[in-house]
Amino acid sequence: MTLAKHLGIALIVGLALFLLSYKIGTYRDYQLAEFAAYVVAVAGLTVLIGISGQISIGHGAFMAIGAYAAALLLMHLHWPLELLIIAAAVVAAAAGGIVGVAAARLRGPYLAGATLMLAVALPSIADRYQGVFGGDQGLDINVSVPGFLGAAFPLTQWLAWVCCAAALITLVLLANLGRSRIGRSWRAVRDDEVAASLAGLNVARLQVLAFVVSSACAGVGGALLAIVTANVAPGAFTLTLSIGLLTAAVIGGLGSLAGAVWGSVLFVLVPGFLTNLTSSHGLSGAASSSVPIAAYGLVLIVVMLAFPAGLQGAVRRLLGTATPTVGTPLSALRRQAPASDTKEKGTT
């Protein structure tokens, strides 16, 4: 029932995006593709944080895993595009499962710290094993337009279709997952681990599962991004990216998939807009390269002060469709630290 509705709406939006891609020109197609790739990753992250109540500051690392998996499979085995994306999801999910096992034992700032380490350490593996991963230079990942579209069809438009389709499929899957028994269990775990385990839920298993789902999304997002930019290099997956994903999820509204979409819009549009703004005002290179990061910080502060439930919370409030039962997303994070105390008391 819900699935049919979600699918119906996704089809309509997909059709709208399909028509749109013809109207907007290649650069906007490129941005649309980039944006859709971020939507996939941010949507996964917002489910992890907002619904299952675990934080990750290292989600860029899972994007890197997906991107490199796709690049290597294309390079050595020449897999077709759809298989590359699925493979990226599987490989990143496996990595997420391993991290998730550790994550299920960690709470609040410790989990943040552990995932942070992942974001910092993982890209340097590419430098360490230069023969496999191509070092700083990275790997090329060049796909071509499928034959039925003709050779003259713009690649960016095709990639915009692929990325938007992937984003819509991901959103439908995540929306249904969030409405399912698993989603409800995640919320129960997020709100009170002791109560959840007393109700018969396997808390650790649910938390690992959330990490697996979330990393699979990040892997797909990373692979899409790599395909869109035709290159995968450690420089794409810096700590700034991981923090940026987190910021996008928070600005959009934690736990809200629509919020993930809003957050990704800012993520794609703001840097370009600011770069143009700063260069037209003749700021020096050093100053202008710091402006986007400073702007993120500023937007984050303003959004948090004005709309604690993120942009999507603001939209809901304006439309009068506030859904208080979902819980204000920030409280999910705030609840982390005490949760560890209660768990210790409860289980020992």
Partner 1 sequence: MKRSRTMAFAPVAGLAAAAMLITSCASSGSSGSGSSSGGSALTASAPGITSATITIGSHQPLTGIAAPGYDEISQASNAYFQYVNSHGGIYGRKIVYKYLNDQYNPSLTSSLVRQLVLKDNVFAIFNGLGTPTHLAVAPFLNSEKVPDIFVASGCECWDAPSKWPYTFGWQLDYVREGKILGQYIKQHFAGKKIGYFYQNDEFGQDGVKGLDYEIPAKQVVAKEAYDATNTAIGPLVAKLKAAGAQVVVSFSVPAFTALLKLNALGLSYNPQLVVSDVGSDAITLAGLLQSFAKQSHKTVNGNQLTQGIITDGYLPALGDASSSWIQLFTQIHSQYLSKLPLDGNVEYGLSAGYAFVQAMLKAGRNPTRQDLVNAINAGIGQGPVVAPYAYSATNHNGVTGAYLGIIDNGVLKPQGSVLVTDATAGGAITPDTSPQPAAPTSGIPAK
Q: Which of residues 63-82 bind partner 1 (CB under 8 A)?
A: none
Task: Decide whether 20 or 149 has the Cβ nearer to partner 1.
Answer: 20
> Cα(190)–Cα(55) distance, rounded to whole angstroms?
11
| Shortest distance (Å) from residue 103 CB to partner 1 | 25
The answer to whether residue 167 forms part of the interface with partner 1 (CB under 8 A) is yes
Distance separating alpha carbons of residues 208 and 90, to the nearest angstrom: 15
User: From the list 115, 156, 214, 215, which residue makes contact with partner 1 (rule: CB under 8 A)?
Assistant: 156
User: Within 191-220, which residues bind partner 1 (CB under 8 A)?
Assistant: none
Contact call for residues 249 and 46 (beta carbons, < 8 A): yes
Is residue 233 a contact residue for partner 1 (CB under 8 A)? yes
Q: Which of residues 13-72 bind partner 1 (CB under 8 A)?
A: 13, 16-17, 20, 23-28, 30-32, 34-36, 39, 43
Contact residue for partner 1 among 264, 333, 336, 339 (CB under 8 A): 264
Per CB under 8 A, 99 contacts partner 1: no
CA torsion through residues 31, 241, 211, 75, sign: positive
- Sign for the CA dihedral angle at 322, 324, 326, 332 comes to positive
Please report whether residue 142 would count as binding partner 1 according to CB under 8 A: yes
| Closest CB 114 distance from partner 1, rounded Å | 23
Who's near 233: CB < 8 A, 6+ residues apart? 126, 134, 136, 137, 138, 139
Residue from 132, 230, 294, 337 in contact with partner 1 (CB under 8 A): 230
Q: Which of 82, 98, 127, 337 binds partner 1 (CB under 8 A)?
A: 127
At 140, which helix (H) or strand (E)?
Answer: strand 139-140
Q: Is 2 in the site for partner 1 (CB under 8 A)?
A: yes
Q: How many CB atoms lie within 10 A of CB 204?
A: 16
CA distance 252 to 265: 9
- What is the size of the binding site for partner 1 (CB under 8 A)? 75
Helix (H/G/I), strand (E/B), else coil: 26? helix
Q: Given the complex with partner 1, which of 84 and 233 has the nearer CB atom?
A: 233
